[in-house]
Copies of this chain bind each other. A is one copy, B any other.
Amino acid sequence: MIWIDPILGTVAAENAPIVLSGVLLSLVVVYLASKLGGEVSKALDFPPVLGELIGGVLVGASALHFLVFPESGAQYTDSLLMPILQWVGDLSPEAVAEVFASQSEIISLLAELGVIILLFEIGLESDLRELQKVGYQAAIVACVGVVAPFVAGTVGLMLLFNVPAIPAIFAGAALTATSIGITSKVLSELGQLKSREGQIIVGAAVIDDVLGIIVLAVVASLAKTGEVDVMNVVYLIISATAFLLGAILLGKFFNQAFITVVDKLQTRGKLVIPALTFAFLMAFLANAIHLEAILGAFAAGLVLDETDRRKELDQQIIPIADILVPIFFVTVGAKADLGVLNPVVPENREGLVIAAFLIGVAIVGKVMTGWFTFGQPGINRLAIGVGMIPRGEVGLVFAGIGSASGVLSKPLEAAIITMVILTTFLAPPFLRVAFGESSESEPLVAQTTLEKEPQTLTSE
């Protein structure tokens, strides 16, 4: 039987078409899960992204096992897609293992492109001037949201649960994260991205992301060597600040150049390709100086937000985001193993008690941040605090690194994962309630374009 593959050629001639099959089938699963979950969630008046996460849980490691990933410990034998591919391609077990590894890597990378596009879109939607106006408040919210849960979590674990210092610090660090992806997506779904509260939350989440990278660097070097690499911390602080400020300052000059170039182009994709080239370049640069790629994409979006062609660009980014962003949310859900929540398993119980404590700290430590926004009379403080709650993918990274470094006990690791999962899943409905209260007194801001479908021109 001959396999033909127009791109991968012949070196991987045995496996490449099967990898393509696997990716196509995974994408079908991702899209079905995201649409089913999103629609049910919407019908129940929850934000669709919650449904996408839960859809991911359903098809992922916790339930149906259609979509499992090696980095959450799964083997190819755990995946329900692999027997299909094995049968289709008549593969040896070794070949299936290779296909599984390749396919998982590709889906994970598509998910990363998804969150990069999401943050680019959020950057496009965010108003730089508005962000600058609330920058001060956002910084305070971010700092309180890092310090409060970190201190309360670490000290509480040491005093109440007799956890040694290093693992306690690690768990405290995991409490500091905020998932900018989940928060900003929910905000846009609620039509609140451009409200004052929304802009403070997004600003704080961006700053929190930078702080999180610094905290993680500190904690990981502590866990590895027992001491803090001060130079590295200083480097991260300087490079993050320089990158974000530099992008914003240069952006004002770059805008004109961008439009001049775009106006000269004649071929298809003349707006979206230059825009994405810029976004991917910024994401690469952020990654290259050891920040997160999504920060670069967000900065790129902020810069291009100022151009005259923004509305057109918004319209064209929508379908691209529509096909890539769900891969991210479904993947986050699929990677979270809800098995740690099962109280019937005896070894989960200690973890669940610690988890209850961590969740309390996680929620209180973030919700209180809303009351640290000064000089904003009438602002919805609860919504700001609630917006900072979801730990999402950032929290999973902390748990993963802690698990890999071996400093965490099994119950503590399970507790951290439980905390991450619950804060992530609770935040969307909480945020809806928090904003719902204010929307009764004053009307909601007009829906942003983020929530709209691109419409067809009927004039053709």
Contacts and interface: CB of A to CB of B under 8 A. Distances in A.
Contacts of A292: 4, 6
Given A111-B7, A312-B455, A21 B319 contact: no
- Give how many copies assemble into the complex: 2
Contacts of A284: 21, 24-25, 28
A338 interface: no
Interface string A192-217: 00000000000000000000010011
Contacts of A116: 24
Interface in A68-109: 69-72, 88, 102, 105-106, 108-109
A13 interface: yes
A156 interface: no
A1 B105 contact: no
A5 interface: yes
A409 interface: no
Given A21-B284, A319-B320, A270 B453 contact: yes
A322 B105 contact: no
A376 interface: no
Most B CB contacts (10 A, CB to CB) among A3, A39, A268, A311 go to: A268
A416 interface: no
Contacts of A160: none
Contact of A320 (B105, B320, B401): B320
B20 A112 contact: yes
A283 B32 contact: no
Contacts of A393: 6-7
Contacts of A317: 319
Contacts of A345: none
17 contacts: A1-B232, A6-B115, A9-B400, A21-B288, A24-B284, A24-B293, A25-B284, A27-B276, A31-B273, A35-B267, A35-B277, A39-B266, A268-B322, A269-B326, A315-B454, A318-B319, A319-B319
